[in-house]
């Protein structure tokens, strides 16, 4: 069975539409989303409506959680070593995005589970945003095989896919967890490659697919959208990596 996972769209409608067009050509049997759908991009409403219209099932990301549970951001920020100014900017973006989405879309986001497990697929497959216990905290990039097994082994799936870091990767392991895949970010890549990233999984073969889109179009949408933080998002898109506000 051929599966696609599209994660971390972050309100980037231009990138999402390019990925959708690419998926039409690839024709996977199942498309799932990995969360972080709306927040910080130019088009949060359009992206949520598009995902709902496509019927993609998926999981809750940390920015989805902070939209529907504002206290989650406060709890994470209180434990973070990042500057308070960063969290102030994130909070302002979330508040404005929450207003634009409206209660019906927020109610839909609340229905997203933390984990989706598909044991009947070949191979057995599980999806989460960062880790099974937190959509904010993935393992470190240099985590040992033992640490990864401890983090994701409870899912009892040979293949686990996550996102959150915006850094695509495929890691083969030798335990119950045979493959750990980060699908990367469709809307805000942090690996130096400006193209949208998503995962194609065909049996035991994993491919990180990169899709070109018109970045200048998205930058214009950010300029016109009127949302706080739009200039910050534009800066990160140009830099192809994380930056402070």
CATH number of the domain to which 198 belongs: 3.60.21.10
User: CA 27 → CA 2, 3, 30, 200, distances in Å?
Assistant: 8, 9, 9, 10
pLDDT value at 221 more than 80 = yes
Number of domains observed in the structure of the chain: 1
Assigned domain for 245 exists? no
Of 203, 152, 155, nearest in space to 173 by CA: 152
Q: What pLDDT is recorded for position 175?
A: 86
Q: Is it the case that residue 122 has pLDDT exceeding 80?
A: no
In a domain, residue 244? The reply is: no
CA-closest candidate to residue 25, choices 204, 198, 216: 198
| pLDDT the model gives residue 121 | 80
Q: In what order do the strands lie in the sheet with 2-6?
A: 57-58, 30-33, 2-6, 196-202, 205-211
* pLDDT for residue 204 is more than 90: no
**Would you tell me how many other CB atoms lie within 10 Å of the CB of residue 235?**
13
Residue 16 pLDDT exceeds 80: yes
Name the residue range of residue 169's domain.
2-239
Residue 119's pLDDT band, with cuts at 50, 70 and 90, is: confident
Using alpha carbons only, give the angle 187, 58, 134 rounded to the nearest 5 degrees. 85
DSSP 89-143: HHHHHHHHHHHHHHHHHHHHHHT--SEEEETTSSS-EEEESSBTTBSS-PPPTT-
pLDDT above 70 coverage of the chain, percent: 100
CA 143 to CA 134: how far, in whole Å?
16
Question: Taking Cα atoms as reference points, which of 173, 185, 228 lies closest to residue 42?
Answer: 228
Provide the Cα torsion 136, 94, 233, 168; round to 10°. Answer: 20
211 phi, psi to nearest 5 deg? -125, 125
Q: At what angle do helices 84-110 and 70-79 cross, to 10 degrees?
A: 150
Q: What angle do CA 129, 102, 242 make, to 5 degrees?
A: 40
pLDDT at position 60 over 80 = yes
Does residue 229 belong to any structural domain of this protein? yes
- pTM of the full predicted structure? 0.97
Residue 149: predicted pLDDT: 95
Average pLDDT over residues 139-148: 94
Across 191-196, average pLDDT: 98
Q: Collapse the DSSP code of 166 into the 3-class scheme (helix H, G, I; strand E, B; otherwise coil) and give the result.
A: coil
> Residue 101's CB: how many other CB atoms inside 10 A?
23
Q: How does the average pLDDT of the chain come out, rounded?
A: 96
Question: Which pLDDT score, from 0 to 100, does residue 136 have?
Answer: 97
State percent of the chain over pLDDT 90: 94
Over residues 160-169, the pLDDT tens digits come to: 999 999 999 9
Beta pairing class for 30-33 and 57-58: parallel
Whether the per-residue pLDDT at 123 is higher than 80: the answer is: no
């Amino acid at each position: 069975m051929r599966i696609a996972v599209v994660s971390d769209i972050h309100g980037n409608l231009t990138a999402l539409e390019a990925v959708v067009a690419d998926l039409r050509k690839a024709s996977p049997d199942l498309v799932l989303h990995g969360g972080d759908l709306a927040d910080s991009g130019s088009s949060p409403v359009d992206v949520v409506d598009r995902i709902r219209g496509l019927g993609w099932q998926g999981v809750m990301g940390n920015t989805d959680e902070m939209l529907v549970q504002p206290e989650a951001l406060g709890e994470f920020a209180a434990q973070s070593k990042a500057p308070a100014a960063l969290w102030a900017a994130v909070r302002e973006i979330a508040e404005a995005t929450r207003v634009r989405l409206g209660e019906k879309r927020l109610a839909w986001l609340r229905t997203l589970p933390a984990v989706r497990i598909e044991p009947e697929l070949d191979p057995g497959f599980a999806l989460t945003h960062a880790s099974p216990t937190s959509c904010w905290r993935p393992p470190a990039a240099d985590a040992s095989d033992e640490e990864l097994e401890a983090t994701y082994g409870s899912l009892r799936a040979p293949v686990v896919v996550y996102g959150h870091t915006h850094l695509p990767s495929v890691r083969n392991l030798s335990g119950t967890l045979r493959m750990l895949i980060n699908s990367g970010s469709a809307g805000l890549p942090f690996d130096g490659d400006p193209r949208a990233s998503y995962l194609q999984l065909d049996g035991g073969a994993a491919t990180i697919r990169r899709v070109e889109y018109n970045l200048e179009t998205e930058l214009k949408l950010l300029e016109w959208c009127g949302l706080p933080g739009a200039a910050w998002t534009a800066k990160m898109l140009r830099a192809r990596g994380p930056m402070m506000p």
